[in-house]
Copies of this chain bind each other. A is one copy, B any other.
Amino acid sequence: MAQKIPTRLYLSEDEIPKYWYNLRADMKEKPDPILHPGTLRPASAADLEAVFCKEPVAQELDETTRLIKIPDGLLDFYKAYRPAPLIRAYFLEKALGTPAEIYYKHEGTNTSGSHKLNSAAAQAYYAKEEGLDSLTTETGAGQWGTAMAMACAFYGLDLTVYMVKISSEQKPYRKALIETYGANLIPSPSNTTEAGRKILERDPNTNGSLGCAISEAVERAVKTDKCRYVLGSVLNHVLLHQSIIGQEAKAALDKYNIKPDIIIGCAGGGSNLGGLIAPFMAEKLAGTSHTRFIAVEPASCPSFTRGRYAYDFGDTAKTTPLLRMYTLGNGFIPSANHAGGLRYHGMNPILSKLYRDGLLEARTAVQTDVFDAAVRFAKIEGILPAPESSHAIKIAIDEALECKRTGEKKTILFGLTGTGYFDMTAYMSYNAKTMGDYIPTDEDLARGFASLPDIPQNKSR
Contacts and interface: CB of A to CB of B under 8 A. Distances in A.
Contact of A177 (B90, B172, B380, B427): B427
A223 interface: no
A424 B111 CA distance: 13
A375 B7 contact: no
Count chain B CB atoms within 10 A of each CB in A77, A81, A182, A422 and give the residue with the most: A81
Interface in A424-440: 424-425, 427-428, 431
Given A179-B431, A424-B177, A427-B180, A111 B12 contact: no
A253 to B, nearest CB: 16
Contacts of A181: 378-379
Contacts of A150: 379, 382
B424 A154 contact: no
Given A10-B10, A176-B431, A179-B431, A379 B153 contact: yes
Contact of A154 (B153, B154, B375, B380): B380
Contacts of A79: 6-8
Contacts of A2: none
Contact of A6 (B13, B154, B182, B378): B13
B424 A384 contact: no
Copies of the polypeptide in the assembly: 2
Contact of A180 (B90, B153, B378, B382): B378
B382 A110 contact: yes
A20 to B, nearest CB: 20
Contact of A421 (B14, B422, B431): B422
Interface residues of A, number: 46
Contact of A384 (B76, B177, B428): B177
B375 A180 contact: yes
Contacts of A55: none
A256 interface: no
Interface string A143-179: 0000000100110000000000000000011001101
Contact of A382 (B80, B113, B378, B379): B80
Given A113-B421, A177-B424, 5 more contacts: A7-B80, A109-B109, A173-B421, A173-B424, A180-B431
Interface of A: 6-8, 10, 12-14, 76-77, 79-81, 87, 90-91, 109-111, 113, 150, 153-154, 172-173, 176-177, 179-182, 375, 378-384, 419, 421-422, 424-425, 427-428, 431
8 contacts: A76-B90, A80-B87, A111-B384, A111-B419, A113-B421, A150-B382, A173-B421, A177-B421
